Structure 1
Amino acid sequence: MQELISTVAIWALPVILAITLHEAAHGYVARYFGDPTADLAGRISLNPLRHIDPVGTILVPGAILLMSTLAGAGGMLFGWAKPVPVSFGRLRNPKADMLWVAAAGPGANLLMALAWAALLKVAIVAPASAYTLPMAQMADAGIQINLILMLLNLLPIPPLDGGRIAVSLLPANLAWKFARLEPYGFPILIVLLISGVLGRILGPLIGVFSYFLAVIFGF
């Protein structure tokens, strides 16, 4: 039980920030390109309570942490927040601007991964104390969850951000056909997760990005 409490304490803040700031970034960029829907709904906010989904932000990550702790092995932690409402038709240039709105979430995760990597470097070089180890563990958790969410969301599967980016880049005659896959996106993702294919896709990519962060920050 003590190990579980420690694990939750280390992962809680990185998970909440990674998920909620990802969603807030979508709303901010949508407003920049002309769609005030998220702003009017109060979703361009750093307040996690405006974004938390009881299942995706708390239950699912918590269950994965619990099972991983009891099994004594790591698992691919992921989750989601309440989707930020975006009316793509209200964007000034809907098809082109969709790319930037979709990319904003993974972009926010990349920036947070860099910030957590900087904190990890600080924890490593700082004189040893009662705070440096927990700081390093939380920073490492922040790097992991942000890389997972960034790379997961960049998969070209509608309605993931990568799917919307693909719709934006494809010619119009192909884009609308590809967008029709959106109702099947979540079932496809579940199949990939259960079959282990998702882990085999994301694992090497996470390793590559983790390596580059280690090289950049020297840890």
Structure 2
Amino acid sequence: MNDLNTILFNIAQSLPGFLLAIVTHEAAHAWMANKFGDPTAKNAGRLTLNPAAHYDPWGTIFFPLLAAVTNFAMIGWARPVPIEVRNFKKIRSGIFWVSFAGPLSNLLLGTLSALVLAVIATKVSPDWGYYRISIRMLQYSVFINFILAFFNLIPLPPLDGSKMVSSFLKGQALYKYENFARYTPVIFLMVMALSFMGIHTLSYVLMPAQVIANYLMFTFVGLFGGIV
């Protein structure tokens, strides 16, 4: 257990990027669904960046706070937006792009965070009182957005990646793939069990996200004349 100052510091540096990442993810789903003719999420008040409209008690409060208390960066999820695919003008295209909108928004937000980080790192004096905390907050924002994007692109039901794959399937292939959802909780439990045993399987899966996040930050800093 960490002391209170450490816990509060973890929350302070992680909370802005965390909330913006998960809220933007769900708002992007809602926005794209509305573009394809389904106003369900919009009518439910989910086409907004207001965290209060998207929070999930476990994913937005309990789990992130638990991570902060145990010296991990805050990570979690927001409440999924309601989607009615029968309202889509083009069902298959709608399923693909509405599903992809969430991870895509995180990739864009992560890239923007890396760009802002590079500007501050190269154009703002380190003597500025908020210099270090701003850099730390933006670094976290870059990483959480890319990790969320890559995690949600994993083609396991009910993650966004699985819905993107299902939009290309038909008949028996689609039935078998969607039926695979029953095994997803078991797979995640196995991954968690392996993590407790020191075998960090998910870390290897998400390693490309961390590599790309680092590459973007170093590249943007270099473009602005900073030392890479």
Q: Normalised by the size of structure 1, how large is the TM-score?
A: 0.90
CA RMSD, aligned part only? 1.7
C-alpha contact (below 8 Å) 2:111/2:142 kept by paired residues: yes
Query: How far apart in 2 are the matches of 1:184 and 1:62?
Result: 28
Q: 1:18 aligns with which of 7, 17, 21?
A: 21
Give 1:35-46 correspondences, 5 Å limit.
Answer: 35-46=38-49
- Is the 8 Å Cα contact of residues 78 and 148 (structure 1) preserved in structure 2? no
Query: Match of 1:49?
Result: 52
Alpha carbons 2:10, 2:73 under 8 Å: kept:
no
**1:72 maps to what in 2?**
none
Structure 2 contact 115–217 (Cα < 8 Å) conserved: no
5+ residue gaps, structure 2: 195-199, 222-227
How far did residue 88 of structure 1 move? 1.3
Which amino acid in 2 is paired with 1:177?
K
**Correspondent of 1:96 among 78, 93, 96:** 93
Paired AA for residue 127 in structure 1: S
**TM norm structure 2:** 0.87
Q: 1:158-177 to 2 correspondence within 5 Å? A: 158-177=157-176
- Which protein is bigger by CA-based radius of gyration? 2
Native 8 Å contact 1:154 1:160 kept in 2: yes
Q: How far apart in 1 are the matches of 2:75 and 2:186?
A: 16
Which residue identity lines up with residue 152 of structure 1 in the other structure? F
2-structure distance, mates of 1:179, 1:134: 44
Judged with a 3 Å threshold, the aligned counterparts in structure 2 of structure 1 residues 130 and 115 are, in CA distance, closer, same or farther, namely same
Look up the SS of the partner of 1:143 in the other structure.
Answer: helix
Q: CA deviation at 1:77?
A: 4.9
Instruction: Report the 3-state secondary structure (helix = DSSP H, G, I; strand = E; otherwise coil) of the residue aligned with 2:55.
Output: coil
Please report how far the alpha carbon of residue 182 of structure 1 lies from its aligned counterpart in structure 2 after TM superposition: 2.5
- For the Cα contact (< 8 Å) 1:76–1:199, is it kept in 2? no
Matched-pair contact (CA < 8 Å) for 2:14–2:73: no
Query: What amino acid does structure 2 have at the position aligned with 1:194?
Result: A
Q: How much has 1:35 moved relative to structure 2?
A: 0.8
Q: 1:29 aligns with which of 9, 32, 50?
A: 32
**2:154 is aligned with what amino acid?**
L
Please tell me the residue identity of whatever aligns with 2:213.
S
**Count of residues in correspondence between the two structures:** 212
2:224 corresponds to:
none
Letter in 2 for 1:184: Y
**Deviation digits for residues 1-46 of structure 1 (CA, Å, limit 9, x no counterpart):** 2121111001011111111110111011011001111011111011
Q: Residues 25 and 108 of structure 1 are in contact (CA less than 8 Å); yes or no, is this contact kept in structure 2? A: yes
Q: For the residues of structure 1 that align with 2:87 and 2:191, how far apart are their CA atoms?
A: 33
Q: Quick one: percent identity of the two aligned structures?
A: 33
Residue 138 of structure 2: aligned partner: 139
The answer (yes or no) to whether the contact 1:37–1:85 under 8 Å persists in 2 is yes
Matches of 1:191 and 1:64, distance apart in 2: 20
Q: 8 Å contact 1:26–1:104 — kept in the other structure?
A: yes
d(CA) in 2 for partners of 1:146, 1:52: 17
Contact 1:167 1:176 in 2 (8 A): no
Deviation at 1:184, TM superposition (A): 3.4
What is the rounded CA distance, in whole Å, between the counterparts of 2:219 and 2:101 in structure 1? 23
In the TM superposition, what is the alpha-carbon distance from 1:194 to its structure 2 partner? 3.2
Tell me which moved more, 187-196 or 155-164. Answer: 187-196
Q: Does residue 7 of the first structure (1) align with residue 15 of the second (2)? A: no
* Structure 2 counterpart of 1:209: 212
Residue equivalent to 2:225: none
Deviations 1:50-91 (CA, angstroms, capped at 9, x unpaired):
001121011111111211x2xxxxx57531111100011221
Shifted more, 204-213 versus 122-131: the winner is 204-213
Within 2, Cα distance between the matches of 1:156 and 1:16?
A: 24
| Aligned residue number for residue 110 of structure 1 | 107
Alpha-carbon separation, structure 2, partners of 1:28 and 1:82: 15
SS in structure 2 opposite 1:127?
coil
